[in-house]
Chain A
Amino acid sequence: MEYNIYAYKCKRCGHVQYPYRTICRNCHENDHNEFDIVPLPKKGKLLTYTILYNPPSDYETPTISLGIVELEDGNRITGQLKIDKPKTGMAVVGRVEIVRNESYNEYRGMVFYKA
């Protein structure tokens, strides 16, 4: 089964926002703050990245790579990278995987690979 990360499409103005906000960031309408849930695209362009050499203690790897990706629909998302030598501007494609393991919780999020 393929997982998705979901964004929120305003029923009034059609603006797609990620992450979730109670009031639409585009039309600020507070009478009908209703949203359709739509999957975020998986393809995009790597805007910037870092290699973190002291990740939080619940990670077992010595480093994690993080990046900000501009997706095809213009939304931006922070995610983990599994790319050998990342370069800004490179095409990437995301998969939803486990990104954090706390004692009793597993969190799924977007992990980007070289497209």
Chain B
Amino acid sequence: MREVFVAGIGITSFTRLEYPLVEIAAYPGLMALRDCGLNKIDQLYVANMGAGRVNHQTGLASAVVDNLSLTPAGADGIENGPASGASAIKQGFMAVASGLHDVVMVIGAERMREVNNLEATDFVATLTHPMAEYIYGVTLPSLAGMFTRLYMEKYGVTSRHLAMVAVKNHQHAMDNFYAHIHEPITIEGILDSPEASTNNPYVADPLRFYDCCPVSDGAACLILTTADIARKTGKPLVRLAGVGQATDTHSVADRKEPTDLLAVREAARKSFEMAGVKPSDVSVAELHDAFTILEIVESEEVGFFPKGQGHIALAEGATKLGGKLPINPSGGLKAKGHPVGATGVGQAHEIVLQLRGEAGKRQVKNAKVGFTCNFGGFGNNVVCLTFVKEK
């Protein structure tokens, strides 16, 4: 198997974008080509979840490869729910590692704001079990709400801990130009003040407005290649060292221990094992905080903290910039935004910036090993990536 390196990266703002989806997808591709000075690729993978349903567009990869004038390169679309982005990176990894292709472009793109919030939520809810969940009106926030209640009762996580995740990630996003939300918040404002119930109403009890990520448009791109080509670009070398994926039951109610996220545990284990590193070697991580509770639980399941201790590490400040293990320096899904199919590529984009030392004010010092967790469904399909800075 050949080693796989990240040559170029690009991203759009994660926000409401008034451009056609194809152009949203193409823009970070252009940025990534400029970033590494390449102008030809062998293969394009485009991750997207809802173009067929939300944007009335199918065959997105063919449209994007033409828009970037990269034909006759191969082009495939990847749909794997909210984990589409990291799944597409996994395909890119396999293509380069196997020797099939030398230069692979991976784009994640989504335009959800073309429809209203309720329609966007309903579109994401179509990934739930059609007969055992969807027909009851189950949405992703409601699955997260039921999960949060169990976690609170079992491990003593409180609304205050959840709010700490939101406050931290909003603060991190202040230094990220591309983030969806540039709005500092305080625990007092969203929990303690008399206005808190208006500022921060319940969405899916016990989860409130500020526990949920926004609905975003956006796209991100990674160009993956071999060691030889990556060296010629002159960019700091970042290697995609570990790829792990695992699945869990489709219906959330079916899980033996409903507070476990076994797919996260297994995907992270595989990713670390392939990269030959331990969770304690990680200097910076991007976790899939579509809901604040998920950042806490994932930080435990991937092995950063013991089960049930994630909220304690959070409260001690270990996971904020300047802490022992900064989590979501980009602002995370919570504040950077969550254009579903683009999210996994966006996470990888942030980790590459951090390992290159190009993250500006939110740079994690001496970042050597970076980790992403891209969480599909409600934990039924998870892809974890480990990146290593090379000399």
- Chain A CB within 8 A of B316 CB: no
Select from chain A the residue with minimum beta-carbon distance to B209: A53
12 contacts between A and B (CB under 8 A): A48-B147, A50-B142, A53-B205, A56-B137, A57-B118, A57-B119, A57-B122, A68-B146, A68-B258, A76-B254, A77-B253, A88-B149
The distance from the CB of B2 to the nearest CB of chain A, in whole angstroms, is 35
Select from chain B the residue with minimum beta-carbon distance to A107: B135
- Chain B CB within 8 A of A13 CB: no
For B146, what are the chain A residues with a Cβ–Cβ distance below 8 Å? 48-50, 66-68
Q: Which of A50, A59, A99 contacts B205 (CB 8 A)?
A: A50
For B135, what are the chain A residues with a Cβ–Cβ distance below 8 Å? 99-100, 107, 109
| B residues whose Cβ falls under 8 Å from a Cβ of A | 117-119, 121-122, 125, 129, 131-133, 135-139, 141-142, 145-147, 149-150, 153, 201-207, 250-254, 258
Select from chain B the residue with minimum beta-carbon distance to A102: B135
The distance from the CB of B140 to the nearest CB of chain A, in whole angstroms, is 11
Say what secondary structure dominates the interface of chain A.
Answer: strand
Select from chain A the residue with minimum beta-carbon distance to B144: A50
For A80, what are the chain B residues with a Cβ–Cβ distance below 8 Å? 136-137
For A55, what are the chain B residues with a Cβ–Cβ distance below 8 Å? 137, 139
Is the Cβ of B202 less than 8 Å from the Cβ of A53? yes
Q: How far is the CA of A59 from the CA of B147 in the complex (A)?
A: 23
For A68, what are the chain B residues with a Cβ–Cβ distance below 8 Å? 146, 252-253, 258
Q: Which of A19, A56, A79 contacts B118 (CB 8 A)?
A: A56
- Chain B CB within 8 A of A115 CB: no
Is the Cβ of B147 less than 8 Å from the Cβ of A79? no
For A113, what are the chain B residues with a Cβ–Cβ distance below 8 Å? none
Is the Cβ of B136 less than 8 Å from the Cβ of A66? yes
For B258, what are the chain A residues with a Cβ–Cβ distance below 8 Å? 47-48, 68, 76
